[in-house]
Amino acid sequence: MIRLRDLIKTRLGSWLLALSLGVLTLIAVVSLLSISGWFITAAAVAGLSGAAAAHSFDIFRPSALIRLAAVVRTGGRYAERLASHHAALGLLQDLRCKLFNALASIKQNVSTRDTTTSARTLHRLVADIDQLDNFPLRVIAPWCWATVLTLIVLFFYHALSPALAAITAPGLILAWLILPLLTFFRGVRLAKQESALSEQRREQLIEPLMLMTPLLLWRQWSAQQQQFTRTDQAWQQQQFQQQGLGSLTVCVQQWLLALTMLALLWQSLLLIAAGELTVPWALAAGLALLAMNEVLAPLCNSFIALGFSQAARDRLNALTHSAAPAEHNTKPVPATPLHWQADALAAMLPGALQGPCDVHFSLQNGEVLIIEGPSGSGKSTLLQALSGQLPLSSGSLILNGQALHHWNTSHTIGLLGQQIDTFDLTLKQNLLIAKPRATEEELWQVLDDVALGDWARAQPDGLKTTTGEYGVRLSGGQARRLALARLLLAERSILLLDEPFAGLDPISRDQVVAALLRRQQAGILIIVSHQPVDIPHAKRLRID
């Protein structure tokens, strides 16, 4: 489970460095403006006071402080960007590894139920994780910096005159603390609503495109367009409300700072008239207040960023929670003996017109079942039902004398579905997802088993060859066999393989078949394939 407060703990040293550099940079910004204003004014006053005053005026130390503040401002800003980006990118890396490992431990096949689910899962693993860095970058950091700088400026005013601090404190506290906190609930709510609409809008745009032909044939395309238009308009209205809240907060904050400036100037005039404050120090105080605008402005949208982070956190937690099997009443399946039996089994995908029905089989250790049938008959649906990803419509599925749902099959059943995921990693990293402690010898062996070994050895980088984003550097058949190799490394007692021989010539197909039989000689192997598969003594099941 992801908790926002843990996002800082994972890279605490890097975040503390970034926050410290940010504070140092902002102190330099305020100091540069204040010291410059004081120096220019004091030099002018000294010049008007006569030659003696001008001669005694020290120009070296203020000049050195101004140069120091300028250097610290530039260097600190650059260093803070490097540190914060290093921390943020490290955080994203940690989150992606943590979440995918959690999903992989639940489903070692790294497969999903259908294309829609896979696309949604991938979107969450990429886009939602990227949203989480809003919390440290746009919530924690601005509030830390604003708090420290506000206290420093108030201390500076108190050092000049307690009356100056007293008259500016209400305005600064309102602009720094009270006003942003008033936007907390509305900002978080608007961000969560916009995030939900954005997800809905994305799905309503992408999914109909995948079904364009049947939608056009059934004259439903116009209805889909209208539905998307309504969602898009609601999303745009939500964004407009967010921008309106941020703009209104900034406007009120500017008015508060302007009123605080008027109060500061009025009090400064009184102190100057009383001889308790000089003109250069009064100008330095005013310029310090002007510099606070840069510090306080990011707070106006901080709670909108918090809402986006919370929405991303909730979706990712829901993803891992929904993927996890219910283990409170389950027990692990013994590796041997295995007896798997289906009686009058029927299953159907939501919204489908038909699916496999009246399915019967009985399998034991070392047996192979080949499922045959025309396209669209429900072979892939049957594999999803056998894996436990799809509830049965009727019939029973018995494993070792008990219904399948009584067992925890997450480490027993492995499914190679129609939709597979290949990650923008090296071949070795893609394989180690299934077995992190696998040796290179094991990796080469499993690549040979799926007829990818010769190809991998021919690559200049060997196991370090990158697959590209979404596996674009691999052909469809190569990506599928890489997913099969990952599944074989997971060492599941029951393997459900949907088209494992796609894109293979007869010689390579025989090589993969021999490897599957060798690896599953003590387990159960179920294969769906449109290509002819010659396996002696294999049982066959036809679905029409």
Q: Which amino acid is at 419?
A: Q
**Could you say which residues of the chain have pLDDT below 50?**
107-116, 325-329
Domain count, the chain: 2
Give the per-residue pLDDT at 261. Answer: 96
Does residue 209 sit within a domain? yes
- pTM: predicted TM-score of the whole model, two decimal places: 0.67
The residue among 288, 323, 358 that closes a domain is 323
Contact 21, 79 (CB under 8 A): yes
Q: Are residues 182 and 98 in the same domain?
A: yes
Query: Does 215 fall in a domain?
Result: yes
Pair 404, 256 in one domain:
no
User: What's phi and psi for 394, nearest 5 deg?
Assistant: -165, 175
3-class secondary structure per residue, 441-505: HHHHHHHHHCCCHHHHHHCCCHHHCECCHHHCCCCHHHHHHHHHHHHHHCCCCEEEEECCCCCCC
Instruction: Note down the domain range covering 100.
Output: 6-323
Neighbouring residues of 329: CB distance < 8 A, sequence distance ≥ 6: 406
Residue 196 near residue 311 (C-beta atoms within 8 A): yes
Do residue 269 and residue 405 come from a single domain?
A: no
Residue 330: inside a domain, yes or no? no
Cβ neighbours of 182 (radius 10 Å): 14
| Paired tokens of 520 | 């599953």
191 burial level (CB within 10 Å; 0-12, 13-18, 19+): buried
- What three-state secondary structure class fits 407? strand
| 27 neighbors 70 (Cβ within 8 angstroms) | no
99, β-bridge pairs: none
Question: Which is nearest to 259 in space by CA: 300, 289, 281?
Answer: 289
Which of 297, 323, 349 delimits the end of a domain?
323
- The predicted structure's pLDDT at residue 109: 40
Give the C-alpha separation, 351 to 344, whole Å.
21
Q: Return the CATH number at 69.
A: 1.20.1560.10
414 within 8 A of 456, measured Cβ to Cβ = no
